[in-house]
Chains A and B, each alone.
Chain A
Amino acid sequence: SQTIHQWPATLVQPVGSPLSLECTVEGTSNPNLYWYRQAAGRGLQLLFYSVGIGQISSEVPQNLSASRPQDRQFILSSKKLLLSDSGFYLCAWSASRGTEAFFGQGTRLTVV
């Protein structure tokens, strides 16, 4: 069966510090991978989407970047965090376009 791992679960970082969040998927090949951010009490905002190694589509952010160095690994990064980067970061995978997406447990990031 497929599983998705996301870590860390919580993170407190100072403003201006770098960020690296990692997500890995097991039990499937060539998944579609997603990074979402959820502000408190709000819906999910799509940040990045990837259909394959090195293929990243960016929806919104200018302060964040994503990379997919391996088929089942998706990394979210920032060189310098802003207060507004605080939120609940969720990684998800789907088997192909148009199919169900499944989420990791999320990382709650607080920038102080």
Chain B
Amino acid sequence: QKEVEQNSGPLSVPEGAIASLNCTYSDRVSQSFFWYRQYSGKSPELIMSIYSNGDKEDGRFTAQLNKASQYVSLLIRDSQPSDSATYLCAVYNAGNMLTFGGGTRLMVKP
């Protein structure tokens, strides 16, 4: 079992819709969770961090964490074509290694 798992996609949503991206992780002691956005050919950029169960909102982005289910998600409201990118979920494991999922490719169609 991979440490951090994401559906590779592509996830296609129309402009203005809500995009929902999901991630599961295997290490129960993980405490820190992150979402990164990566445009083609570029390095990942941090969008959200979440440390506690529940929701965390920042603009059009909402991160949701459920430690009991070992599940973290990212919602993007009012999706724009510029949101089209690969979204990477990252988790610190017990060995303090920041481990990434394979990423979900999001396509927002005008």
Residues of the B chain whose Cβ atoms lie less than 8 Å from the Cβ of A98 = 31-32, 92, 96
| B45 in contact with A46 (CB, 8 Å) | no
A18 to chain B, nearest CB (A): 24
Docked Cα-Cα span, A43 to B23, in Å, equals 13
| A97 in contact with B96 (CB, 8 Å) | yes
Residue-wise, chain A 43-74 has the 8 Å CB interface mask toward B (1 for contact) of 11010010100000101000000000000000
Given A99-B32, A103-B45, A104-B43, are A59 and B97 neighbors across the interface (CB < 8 Å)? yes
Query: B90 contacts the other chain (Cβ, under 8 Å)?
Result: yes
Which size bracket describes the interface of B in this complex?
20 to 34
* Chain A contact residues: helix, strand, loop or mixed: strand
Given A97-B96, A100-B46, are A44 and B31 neighbors across the interface (CB < 8 Å)? no
Of the candidates B49, B98, B102, the one whose C-beta lies within 8 Å of that of A34 is B98
Query: B70 contacts the other chain (Cβ, under 8 Å)?
Result: no
- For chain B residues 31-55, which have a beta carbon within 8 Å of chain A? 31-32, 34, 41-46, 49
B24 to chain A, nearest CB (A): 14
Q: B residues bordering A, Cβ < 8 Å?
A: 31-32, 34, 41-46, 49, 88, 90, 92, 96-103
The 5 closest A-B pairs by CB, nearest first: A43-B102, A44-B100, A103-B43, A98-B32, A106-B43
Q: A residues bordering B, Cβ < 8 Å?
A: 32, 34, 36, 42-44, 46, 49, 51, 57, 59, 90, 92, 94, 97-106, 108
